[in-house]
Amino acid sequence: MSIHPSAVIAAGAVVPASCTVGPFSTIGPDVALGEDCVLVSHVVLDGHTRIGARNTFYPFCAIGVPPQDLKYKGEHTAVEIGDDNTIRECVTVSRGTVGGGGLTRIGSGCLLMAYVHIGHDSLVGSHCILANCATLAGHVIIEDYASVGAFCPVHQHCTVGQYAFIGGGTIVTQDVLPFSLTSARRENRAFGINKVGLTRRGFTAERLTRLQKAFRLLLAAKLNTSQAVEKIRQLEGEDAALLAAFIERSQRGIIK
């Protein structure tokens, strides 16, 4: 096991021999690491935190720390992190609250760039990218393969749909459509499908064409949202059905 002499590992912590713990890092008594994790230096892992394999934590990130919620009184809540994540400098991940379900969760294969904040009770899927200073308030859901641009704050209880791409500097106060390219110029707008990102993820030309048709019904046709959803449900393919279901279950409304 590679543990720097200046690191502090509390009794009770689970740290496999394959892990590397760098200088001035601290690991709390209720933390369990998976195999081959790397703490570069000055990393804080705290609280009831379960971490999978092959995660890399860069300097000054703080994972499993108490939530920034005045209602929190030290209750037993948790953080769960999957495998193969890269968590860069100064990232903060708060543990959950009793009122929000008690769990903050990050999936696998994510990149959290410098100064990202994952607020309490937020649920981040797998293969997501959060760019520098992206900030999730409490109770946010980021679905699989979504990308949140730099300096984007996401309001409490918002959902960012799968494969969505949010441009840098966008203030997100409503749900972001799956597959969409959403950004702020003068106002927040969905500009159609995230064609480049979807192509990189292996979407076929036929699949993209069907999605473009669905988005035209929603964004360009002279239909209200309910009428557009009814038309989208008549299209072929699982993507159209997923898009329609996302709109129907939205609690905060969608960015169109």
Tell me the domains of the chain and their CATH numbers. 2-142 (2.160.10.10), 197-249 (1.20.1180.10)
Rounded-to-integer distance, Cα 146 and Cα 251, Å: 19
120 noted as active-site residue: yes
With the C-alpha atoms ordered 110, 169, 58, 30, is the resulting torsion angle positive or negative? negative
Radius of gyration of the chain (CA): 20
Find out whether 139 and 156 touch, Cβ atoms under 8 Å. yes
Rounded-to-integer distance, Cα 134 and Cα 113, Å: 8
Q: Which of 83, 121, 175, 239 is the catalytic position? A: 121
Rounded-to-integer distance, Cα 4 and Cα 220, Å: 59
Q: Which of 138, 161, 167, 197 is the catalytic position? A: 138
pLDDT of the residue at 45: 98
pLDDT of the residue at 236: 87
Rounded-to-integer distance, Cα 92 and Cα 103, Å: 15
| Crossing angle of helices 205-219 and 225-233, rounded to 10° | 150
Q: In the chain, which ranges are continuous DSSP H helix?
A: 195-200, 205-219, 225-233, 238-249
Q: What is the mean pLDDT of each run of 10 residues along the chain (256 residues)?
A: 94 97 98 98 98 98 97 96 98 97 98 98 98 97 98 97 96 96 78 92 94 93 92 92 96 92
Q: Which of 82, 120, 125, 149 is the catalytic position? A: 120
Classify strands 111-112 and 56-57 as parallel, antiparallel or unpaired. unpaired
Give me the phi and psi of 4, to 5 degrees please. -65, 145
76 noted as active-site residue: no
pLDDT of the residue at 73: 94
Q: Identify the three-state secondary structure at position 195.
A: helix
- Cα–Cα separations (whole angstroms), residue 105 to 121, 162, 212: 7, 16, 32
Q: How many residues does the chain have?
A: 256
pLDDT of the residue at 187: 66
pLDDT of the residue at 189: 78
| Residue 48 CA from chain centroid, whole number | 20
